[in-house]
Structure 1
Amino acid sequence: MVKRLSGLKKGLSLVLAVSLAVTFVPPSSSKAWAAPELKLNVKSAILIDAASGQVLYENNADVALPPASMAKMMTEYILMEQIDSGKLDWDTMVHTSHYAANVGGSGGMLAENEQLSVKDMLYALSIYSSNDAAVALAEHMAGNEQSFVAMMNSKAKEIGLSDKTHFTSATGLTRDDIEDPALKDNPLEGDTLMTARDAATLGLRLIKDHPDILEFTKIPRKKLRESDQYPMENWNWMLEGKVNSEFQKQFAYQGMDGLKTGSTDAAGYCFTGTALRNGVRLVSVVMNAQSTKKNPNKQEREAARFIETRKLLDYGFNNFETKTVVTKDTAVDALPTVAVKKGLKKTVPVVTEGDVSMVLMKGAKDTEIKKVSVDTTNGKLTAPVKKGQEVGTMTVTYGKVTKTVKLVAAEDVKKAGAFRLFFRSVGSFFSRLGDTIKGWF
């Protein structure tokens, strides 16, 4: 008996120093909903909720394809960035070089040596997808198109686009697309390629970082110059005010206000679209959309990208809703308290620091939302503890989407005095000793 008590006394200091951390291992992630087969006639597509960044649908979204004029979203992004930073002014005059005036493709609005303001150039770029305006702006911002393309690729990395996306022109034109043989000799390697995911990411960043771009992209038609006989017509047939014919009328889509069309022989018909309904904004991308018509004419081939975009947007607006799945200052059942050392109280209650909102399938069950709470103090939380001090994390998972919210102390815990701590240690010692002795009999 004496030997056992001696051994117990030697180990008591170690026993009293141990604090148990509560850790819950997260379950394996599982898909919360099965995306339907939308039967899209495209090479790739993606649909994203703008507020959360959640992917609601994807198909071959990481395949690099020619984007055509959707690449101009990067030209727009850099231009808007320079406007917002004060490097450029809307009224600054931009010169049209021989190269810009002769680049070919969409546009053809600018004459060599003509000057227009930055704002008018952006109207031409965003409404009429003007290649000449894109090159003129690129040259104005960087000196020449090649230097501007280096800015485009640098910005792509900065905002998180994948290595599969690569720019070689300010317009999205490939070498084969450029009409003037004298302008084909681009020293940059490769050709312009984008994935649907990167196009959506770029479109989303453009909207969030520079929302004024929508004031340009939503314009159905506008004269570039007052003296022009005809206005520039927006290539986006889904704009509600874009009705040039009974054929185009069918594509008008409620809430549509952007973003960028694109088409070349290599790319086919592409479109990065965005629409806002009841406070929910979606961003969609379709690449190389194909008509289902037998022997379609040009108008029917062009319409394919809008038909496929409607399928995507309808799926998003009709089947998903944003819900708050975790509320701020809510107690956590799985981790109600965290141990505190040397405090007036031995534990502190835990609550969530903020709300967590997620885009859910309409009618989603609470059991489909997994919540995992972890004590991150590792048993080392020592008084004094301040209300709002981080003590853990909660991971919330729905399908492939995971969000994290901090868990914080719900109240202050003051440091206990030396006298209280001494008697607490003594009491703990004899309590543990008594429990051990009981175990021997």
Structure 2
Amino acid sequence: MKLKENNRTTSKSKRKLLRKGVASVLLLNMLCFSLVPAMALAEGEQTESTTSTKPASVQAGATQIPSAESLDLQVSSAILLEPVSGQVLLNINGNQPLPPASMTKMMTEYIVADLVKQGKFNWDDVVTVQKNAANTVGSRIFLAEGDQHTIEELYTAMAMASANDATVALAEHVAGSEQAFVKMMNDEAKRMGMKTAHFANSTGLDIADMPAEFRTQDGKETVMSAMDAAILAKYIVTDHPDFTRFTTIQSKKFRERDKAPMSNLNWMLEANKDVTNFKQFAYEGLDGLKTGHTANAGNCFTGTAERNGMRLISVVMGTKTEKARFVETRKVLDFGFNNFETKQIIPPKSTVAGTETVTVKKAKNTSVPVVSDQGVSFVIPKGADISGVQATVTLGNETLTAPLKQGTSVGTVKYSFKPAGMDQTLEKTVNLITAEDAEKAGWFKLFMRAIGDFFRDLFNGIKNLF
């Protein structure tokens, strides 16, 4: 019996040695005749897009934010917006389309300033006043048909004194007619993402108050929600940060012969802190933007102020008195500045845990470090815990091959954060870029790497046979 068992054991050992011998011969043959394909295999396709999400940490307690109701706002609607992030910090009936009165002029201001910025017009271009502008009523500087003034002079009268006739004169100069300009306004509103806005004229006047022969024919009045007004203001302060050279002028004569200067209708300008009649309304950091009033609209105001590097935009619509629009604006802005701050959540050039590197084919070092291309800041409740930030990485599905320059985009990282005390989840997506150059390896290094990869793959395959 023992002899038979020993024979069987010996037979199994021989078969095992035979299989290993055959595998070794195969290996040598494949090595001799397959080096070129092996190199191609070593430089194969990169894995398609991958997404990794890091779990959020638990936040350590909420910062108490006063409720909107506690502000006791006497308005038809109100919005508070931070223009850099686009975050809405307060919304009271903010999506309801309402007559905006002269806040309409913000769109006229934006379009004219943009055309000057593009070089299509110059501030010192001379405008000849036409019949429509000369016959426009309401707040005005009493232009006569044939009068000539520069774009800058008329723009100043529009921005600080809300002059309707100056506004129409600019619209006609830019587009040929006010109605052609109105089309530009509505087109621009769509581009900006204003969901409720419709413009019937350049001023915000009711259609019935326009000169009869120049009225819009469809009967659709100008409307704009508080949210749309805030979006429009955001474009002004972002695209034309020099807006303050017009909006902060307290008073100015339009013509040298005028007995009285034009007065800025914005009582909240910080500079008014030394003006007896207005110092009770003066607000620290406030430098714009536009008032409005008609019988249908009531009193409205889009204000903007900057403190400690954070700018806020407030909109109040439908207040009962001229004074009330500034009183309510103070409540809205105080709510923002007292309870929120802009905080950098992620510094620029940050690494993301779990995606510190990417693989770059044919590089000297195939693992290349990657970082975010910019920092991420959110407007959050003061003192809020920021440990709960989530990072979601999405890599591109194309193969990365050396050489690559530093700063090459390889994917994106989305940062998400829901601060305690806020209903909304804050999100921002930035690019993930290479942190250094990825130089191409020399031919010998690539050759040796191909051999190493080939043997590694082959032995892994053989190991699985046994």
Q: TM-score, normalised by structure 1?
A: 0.83
- 2:458 aligned residue: 429
- 8 A Cα contact 1:35 1:57, kept in partner: no
The CA distance in 2 between the partners of 1:71 and 1:27, in whole Å, is 46
2:187 aligned counterpart, secondary structure:
helix
SS of residue in 2 equivalent to 1:405: strand
Query: Match of 1:44?
Result: 77
TM-superposed CA distance for 1:246, in Å, is 5.6
Aligned counterpart in structure 2 of residue 277 of structure 1, from 282, 303, 307: 307
Quick check: 1:196–1:285 contact (8 Å CA) kept in 2? yes
CA distance in 1 between counterparts of 2:152 and 2:435 reads 52
Counterpart for residue 7 of structure 2: none
Asked whether the equivalents of residues 234 and 242 of structure 1 are also in contact (C-alpha less than 8 Å), the reply is no
Question: Contact (CA 8 Å) 1:71, 1:170: kept in 2 or not?
Answer: yes
Instruction: Decide which of 307, 317, 322 is 2:337's aligned counterpart.
Output: 317
Aligned to 1:407: 432
| Corresponding position of 2:347 | 327
Deviation at 1:100?
1.9
Paired AA for residue 392 in structure 1: G
* 2:222 matches 1:187: no
Determine the structure 2 residue equivalent to 1:418: 447
CA RMSD, 1 decimal: 3.3
The farther-off stretch of 386-395 and 68-77 is 386-395
Query: Structure 1 counterpart of 2:67, which letter?
Result: P
Equivalent-residue separation in structure 2 for 1:188 and 1:419 (angstroms) = 77
Task: List aligned pairs for 1:139-154, cutoff 5 A.
Answer: 139-154=172-187
By how many angstroms is 1:59 displaced?
2.4
Distance, in Å, in 2 between the alignment partners of 1:253 and 1:267 is 24
What CA distance in whole angstroms lies between the structure 1 residues aligned with 2:394 and 2:115?
Answer: 44
- CA distance in 2 between partners of 1:365 and 1:305 (Å): 35
Aligned to 1:75: 108
Residue in structure 1 matched with residue 86 of structure 2 by the alignment = 53
Structure 2 equivalent of residue 250 of structure 1: 280
For residue 382 of structure 1, report the CA deviation from its aligned partner: 4.1
For structure 2, the residue ranges without an aligned partner over 5 or more in a row are 1-14, 28-37, 419-424
Matched residue, 1:136 = 169
Q: Report whether the alignment pairs 1:206 with 2:236.
A: yes
- How far does the alpha carbon of each residue in 1:378-431 deviate from its partner, in whole angstroms, 9 at most, with x for none? 7x4345554433333211123433211222233426445133212322123313
SS at match of 1:314: helix
Classify 1:26/1:68 alpha carbon distance in 2 versus 1 (closer, same or farther; 3 Å): farther
User: Any conservation in 2 of the 1:22–1:335 contact (CA below 8 Å)?
Assistant: no
| Shift, 1:271, TM fit | 0.7
More RCO (CA 8 Å, sep 6+) = 2
Query: Which stretch shifts more, 274-283 or 382-391?
Result: 382-391
Match for 1:327: what amino acid? P
Q: For 1:263-412, what aligned pairs fall within 5 Å after superposition?
A: 263-290=293-320, 301-341=321-361, 343=363, 345=365, 347-377=367-397, 380-399=399-418, 400-411=425-436, 412=438
Q: 2-side partners of 1:252 and 1:42: how far apart? A: 20
Contact 2:373 2:433 in 1 (8 A): yes
Cα deviation 1:271-330 (Å, max 9, x = unaligned): 11111223322211111124xxxxxxxxxx111111111112112222222222222333
Mapping of residues 220-239 of structure 1, within 5 Å: 220-239=250-269
Matched with 1:197 is 227
| 2:51 partner SS | coil
Please list the CA deviations of residues 59-109 of structure 1 after superposition, one character each: whole Å capped at 9, or x if unmatched: 222221111100101111222223333333333333333332222122253
CA contact (8 A) 2:394 2:412 kept: yes
**Deviation larger for 188-197 or 346-355:** 346-355
Aligned residues: 414
- Paired amino acid for 1:318: N
CA offset at residue 340 of structure 1? 4.3
Identity rate, percent:
44
In structure 2, the CA distance between the partners of 1:188 and 1:77, relative to structure 1 (3 Å rule), is farther
Paired amino acid for 1:36: S
Instruction: Give 2:340's aligned amino acid.
Output: F
Aligned to 2:205, what secondary structure does the other structure show? coil
Amino acid at match of 1:23: T
Structure 1 residue 22: Cα displacement: 4.5
Structure with max Cα Rg: 2
Describe the shift of the 1:210–1:348 C-alpha distance in structure 2 as closer, same or farther (beyond 3 A): closer
Equivalence for 2:270 = 240
Q: Secondary structure of the equivalent of 2:78?
A: strand
Return the alpha-carbon distance in structure 2 between the equivalents of residues 428 and 345 of structure 1: 20
Cα pair 2:53 2:390 within 8 Å, conserved: no
Counterparts in 2 of 1:131 and 1:243: CA distance versus 1, 3 Å: farther
Q: State the one-letter code of the partner of 1:201.
A: I
From 182, 190, 199, give the equivalent of 1:167. Answer: 199
1:188 Cα deviation (Å)? Answer: 4.4
Aligned to 2:157: 124
Q: Which amino acid aligns with 1:417?
A: L
Once the two structures are TM-superposed, the CA of residue 128 in structure 1 deviates from its matched residue by 1.4
Quick one: which of 23, 38, 48 aligns to 2:51? 23
Q: Take 1:307 and 1:426, find their aligned partners in 2: how far apart are those partners? A: 79
> Once structures 1 and 2 are overlaid, which stretch shifts more, 34-43 or 422-431?
34-43
User: Do structure 1's residue 96 and structure 2's residue 115 form an aligned pair?
Assistant: no
Q: Per-residue deviation at 1:161?
A: 3.1
Q: State which of 246, 253, 262 in structure 2 corresponds to 1:216.
A: 246
Alpha-carbon distance in 2 for matches of 1:130, 1:40: 29
Query: How far does the alpha carbon of each residue in 1:325-358 deviate from its partner, in whole angstroms, 9 at most, with x for none?
Result: 2223332213223344455555333322222222
The one-letter amino acid paired with 2:449 is: R
Quickly say closer, same or farther: Cα 1:410–1:91, change in 2 above 3 A. Answer: closer
Shift of 1:171: 0.5
